[in-house]
Amino acid sequence: MSFLHTWAYLKYGVWGAAFLHGAVNGWAGAYFLLYPHTFGDVVWSITGLYGAATLTVTTAAFWLLATLVARATKIENLLTSVENKSLDIRLKRA
């Protein structure tokens, strides 16, 4: 697999390698459809539990980051709007 990632990176750059990685991960669900008897072994193994914990923490971190960025952008837009209105009032008085 690392050979394919290296090839995609060298041929198509970072986005090519990322696309290939996503395509490979997309087939993970199909693997369990083909081999359902292995699902429990993977989910309850240390790898599955670690993956679930990592996914939870990563999702929470990205959600918090996105929320903070959205709030900061909203506040910045509000302040810009207030400044523009203040400037308009000053220009009308002059």
Question: Do 50 and 87 reside in the same domain of the chain?
Answer: yes
Q: Is the pLDDT of residue 44 over 80?
A: no
Question: Do 50 and 30 reside in the same domain of the chain?
Answer: no
Question: Do 24 and 64 reside in the same domain of the chain?
Answer: no
Question: Do 74 and 49 reside in the same domain of the chain?
Answer: yes
Number of structural domains (the chain) is 2
Confidence of residue 78 (pLDDT cuts 50, 70, 90): confident
Question: Do 19 and 56 reside in the same domain of the chain?
Answer: no
The reported pLDDT for the residue numbered 88 is 66
Confidence of residue 14 (pLDDT cuts 50, 70, 90): confident
**Sign of the alpha-carbon dihedral angle for 5, 7, 8, 13:** positive
The pTM assigned to this predicted structure is: 0.41
Question: Do 31 and 53 reside in the same domain of the chain?
Answer: no
Q: Region 43-72: what's the mean pLDDT?
A: 83
Confidence of residue 39 (pLDDT cuts 50, 70, 90): confident
Tell me which residue range forms the domain holding 6.
1-38
Question: Do 60 and 34 reside in the same domain of the chain?
Answer: no
Question: Do 88 and 58 reside in the same domain of the chain?
Answer: yes
